Amino acid sequence: MVHLTTALDASSGVPLYEQLYRSLAGEMRSGTLAAGTRMPGKRRLAAELSVSVNTVDAAYQMLAAEGYLESRERSGFYVQEYLALPSRPAGGPEQPAPPKPEPPVLPVRYDLSTRGVDPELFPFRTWARLQKELLYSSPQLLTHGDAQGDPALRQALAEYLSEYRGVQCGPHQIVVGAGLEYLLGLLAPLLPGPAAVETPGYPRALQVLQNNGVHCCCLPVDEDGLSVEALNRSDAAVCYVTPSHQFPTGVTMPAGRRAELLHWAARRPGGRYIIEDDYDSEFRFDTRPLPSLQGMAGADGPVVYLSTCSRSLAPSIRIAYMVLPEHLLPAWRKKYRLYSGTVSRFEQQTLARFITEGYFTRHLARERVAYKARRAALTEWRWSVADDTIAEVDPSGIVTGLRGGSTTLTLQSADGKISASCPVQVSSPLRGIALDDYTLYFDDELVTWITADGTRESDYAYASRVGAVCHLLPEDTTDHPAVTYHIADERIARFDGSWLIPVNYGTTTLTADCGGFTAQCTVTVVRPEE
């Protein structure tokens, strides 16, 4: 006979079958209801608890579905064996220290970061309208899409890249993904290693390659971009570069250096690759960007082209893409054919229409005008100094001191509406110090007399004032260190801070120290001539 301790509360707000289920499951976990125990019949238990049979049946079915009970035909329900959970330590696990509060984020007045995008330039109305139209007209976009990206977007990107970047590819070569880091992570296992990266360079690319087990060597960047000479000396089989706008120096790789890089890869067909990160080629204000490395190499050349919409649209729209050489497509499909796309199909289709209907090029033109004006506002500020004989300033704001003194440095906008000033103090560097020889006259045979303060002084005790001559550039400054003096033999003469005082006949040496420079002179004490 089974005696249940179950107590049900009709006023608790929890359904009675749920209360019954929880109570019975607890008794089974605790061992109160042992394995193999036959449960009371539904009608009997319902009568004992004053509930409906349906309530008991619902609780039994839930317990059976979760493995607490086993239903045996024509016999009823039996308790299943339940392995109790491991006991927890009495004190419980150590609680981690509460995190320190984050420092308050101060508002940014001027964002000069490389990832900065002005959200006010985003085409909100156009983007929202296109998405709304797609939402109502294309319900199929709620289904799974192509792992490489929606065909419409890949077609639009292929046409855009061909016209504006000289990239030679078909839509079938393009892979769309959520950010450059994601695509680079997919690409890394398909290429041989090790890899060469620029230094200074894009740290995220280095991190992604290393996270995928690729050994990386950092090669220097000069005024033309990555050093091909250093690349030839390395054992790299892959080269990651940002040729159109090197990150972070901003230099552009000239055509000659690009040809050298392609020749490096061509010397080992299929064994060397170039990853061309063309992250912001749309924003060149002085000249038209050079053709891409991929365009120079051809559709099946050794170049993988990477780019993103984060810089032109918004970082939160995680749409990036890469163009694979033809011979890498089978390897990509074999490895990733079962993957799902990582970018919303609605976002992909919106961008496709944004490009094909001409909105993208107009948006880029608007951004170029705005960003060029802002760059000009930064570069066309005027620096000046009040006294250009004391200091001079170049157009970039670097101040050069000319002579000692004080003046004022001023920065003013091109229109003269905004300005700021600060004082500038120019200290002259110490070039050296010098001392002249001194002759003192002293006669101890002459009569001495007593002064009012009691000092015995010879009326022929001639003193000589000492001054170290500090050679400075410029000479009209007092910003040099203090001069200290030392007498080698104070039996001949002594120094009281300003004067040399004769003590006895003879010769000694006076030494002066000033700012690391030292000078000496001879001090001679003689009898005065009659």
CATH code, domain carrying 322: 3.40.640.10
pLDDT for 279: 84
- Asked whether residue 377 is domain-assigned, the answer is no
* Pair (23, 133) in one structural domain: no
- Asked whether residue 266 is domain-assigned, the answer is yes
The token pair that represents 162 in the structure block: 């061909």
* Pair (192, 165) in one structural domain: yes
Per residue in 186-224, pLDDT (tens digit) is 999 999 989 999 999 999 999 999 999 999 999 999 989
* Pair (422, 434) in one structural domain: no
Collapse the DSSP code of 96 into the 3-class scheme (helix H, G, I; strand E, B; otherwise coil) and give the result. coil
Domain count along the chain: 4
Mean pLDDT of the chain: 84
* Pair (125, 63) in one structural domain: no
pLDDT range class, residue 457, cuts 50, 70, 90: low
The two beta strands, 430-434 and 174-177, are unpaired
Element (H, E) at 131: helix 124-137
**Res 530 pLDDT > 50:** no
Q: What is the CA radius of gyration of the chain?
A: 44
* Pair (288, 386) in one structural domain: no
55 is in which domain, residue-wise?
16-79
**Res 47 pLDDT > 90:** no
- Tell me if the bond preceding 203 is cis, omega within 30° of 0: no
Per residue in 364-375, pLDDT (tens digit) is 888 888 888 877
pLDDT for 307: 92
Amino acid identity, position 493? A
* Pair (309, 322) in one structural domain: yes
Residue 73 sits in a domain whose CATH number is 1.10.10.10
Q: 360: which residues sit within 8 A by CB, 6+ positions away?
A: 160, 312, 351, 354
**Res 272 pLDDT > 60:** yes
> Out of 119-128, 478-487, 515-524, which region has the weakest mean confidence (pLDDT)?
478-487
Task: Find how far residue 505's CA is from the centre of its chain.
Answer: 75
- Tell me if the bond preceding 474 is cis, omega within 30° of 0: yes
DSSP category for residue 444: T
* Pair (507, 482) in one structural domain: yes
More confident residue, 43 or 379: 43
User: How many whole angstroms separate alpha carbon 82 and alpha carbon 290?
Assistant: 71
User: How many whole angstroms separate alpha carbon 446 and alpha carbon 529?
Assistant: 13
Q: Where are the alpha helices (DSSP H) in 138-214?
A: 151-164, 180-187, 203-211
Strand order, beta sheet including 464-465: 464-465, 499-502, 493-495
The two beta strands, 493-495 and 438-441, are unpaired
Amino acid identity, position 512? A
**Res 50 pLDDT > 60:** yes
Residue 455 sits in a domain whose CATH number is 2.60.40.1080
Place of tokens 């992250």: 279
pLDDT for 283: 76
- The answer to whether 17 and 58 are in contact (CB under 8 A) is yes
- The answer to whether 265 and 196 are in contact (CB under 8 A) is no
- Asked whether residue 52 is domain-assigned, the answer is yes
**How many of the other CB atoms lie within 10 Å of CB of 174?**
23
pLDDT for 456: 58
* Pair (30, 152) in one structural domain: no
pLDDT for 141: 82
* Pair (146, 215) in one structural domain: yes
- Asked whether residue 476 is domain-assigned, the answer is yes
* Pair (192, 270) in one structural domain: yes
Range 44-52 contact pairs with CB under 8 angstroms and sequence separation of 24 or more: 45/4, 48/4, 49/6, 49/8, 49/20, 51/8, 51/16, 51/20
- Percent share of the chain, pLDDT over 90: 34
pLDDT for 114: 66
pLDDT range class, residue 170, cuts 50, 70, 90: very high
- Tell me if the bond preceding 200 is cis, omega within 30° of 0: yes
**Res 322 pLDDT > 90:** yes
Per residue in 105-141, pLDDT (tens digit) is 777 666 666 666 778 888 999 999 998 998 888 888 8
- Asked whether residue 101 is domain-assigned, the answer is no
- Percent share of the chain, pLDDT over 70: 86
Place of tokens 């290693």: 193
* Pair (348, 418) in one structural domain: no
* Pair (333, 197) in one structural domain: yes
User: How many whole angstroms separate alpha carbon 37 and alpha carbon 30?
Assistant: 14
> Out of 101-110, 239-248, 318-327, 346-355, which region has the weakest mean confidence (pLDDT)?
101-110
Q: Please tell me the pTM assigned to this model.
A: 0.61
- The answer to whether 149 and 174 are in contact (CB under 8 A) is yes
> Out of 282-291, 328-337, 398-407, which region has the weakest mean confidence (pLDDT)?
282-291
Could you say which of 318, 335, 365 is where a domain stops? Answer: 365
